Amino acid sequence: MRICVLASGSKGNATYVEGGGVRLLIDAGISCRDLEKRLAAVGESPDGLDGILITHEHIDHVRGLARFVDRHGTPVFANEGTAAVVERQCRLEGKSPPPDFTLFESRVPFALGGLTVTPVRTSHDTAEPVAYTLDDGAARLGYFTDLGFVSGEVAAALAACDALVLESNHDLTMLRESGRPFALISRIAGDSGHLSNDQACEAIARCASPNLRALVLAHLSEECNQPAVARACMARALKARGLAPALAVAEQSVPLPFLEV
């Protein structure tokens, strides 16, 4: 599998994955124009994609979806709860919603070409949020962002992955001292918000597979985190567990180099 995080953070998320004979995106949370630009920058065409997997309906995951699908005819995969809200949001914004969603059920694996896609339920403040694992028979990638907390279901899925894109959203002290309204701080730090650096480290310390080969820290807050802080925290957790995967921190404004697993 080849994986490229095109954009990651509270301003927009999208990841390109190629494997099992298919090319797809997970989320389309930057504008259509930016998606096209970033795909071009990493040498990929926006045409002929086999699907876009949607995690949930927050704008930072679907911002460019309607226009991208309109221009490139990409099939969209989502569960019923997410699809219904995305359709409603598109209509409210005067956009034509994706013409048809391929609906799946959370927790039920499905085939997309030679990939087995498993939607993993997460705890996040949307209709029916999911993370994903994608398996091509040789390696398994986990895409885990907007987690709220690491549930038993997420922990079990994460433990079986050879490569991970994992949320490391905020440093709790920076969040608490950010001057943001208390309600917002509580939402972000709460069980249906986002994982802190410490929570991400704890998840790795507790559950990571001994076969973990690559780890990308993702969905970092620009105001309440710093890449060097998140990376140092995770490096300690990996060392304590005796793991040495390739470690990267995803960025908001530029794609990461391709990972191969």
Tell me which residues touch Zn ion (CB under 5 A). Answer: 58, 60, 146
* Rounded-to-integer distance, Cα 177 and Cα 17, Å: 37
C-alpha torsion 99→102→105→111, nearest 10: -160
What angle separates helix 197-207 from helix 152-159, to the nearest 10 degrees? 60
Smaller CB separation from Zn ion, 38 or 58: 58
Smaller CB separation from Zn ion, 74 or 169: 169
Looking at this protein, which amino acid is placed at residue 189?
A
Give me 46's structure tokens: 């926006």
| Shortest distance, position 141 Cβ to Zn ion, whole Å | 18
Looking at this protein, which amino acid is placed at residue 211?
N
| Shortest distance, position 146 Cβ to Zn ion, whole Å | 4
| Shortest distance, position 87 Cβ to Zn ion, whole Å | 18
| Shortest distance, position 54 Cβ to Zn ion, whole Å | 11
Residue of minimal Cβ distance to Zn ion: 58
Smaller CB separation from Zn ion, 58 or 170: 58
DSSP structural state of residue 196: B
Smaller CB separation from Zn ion, 97 or 193: 193
| Phi, psi angles (nearest 5°) of residue 259 | -105, 140
Smaller CB separation from Zn ion, 130 or 212: 130
| Shortest distance, position 13 Cβ to Zn ion, whole Å | 6
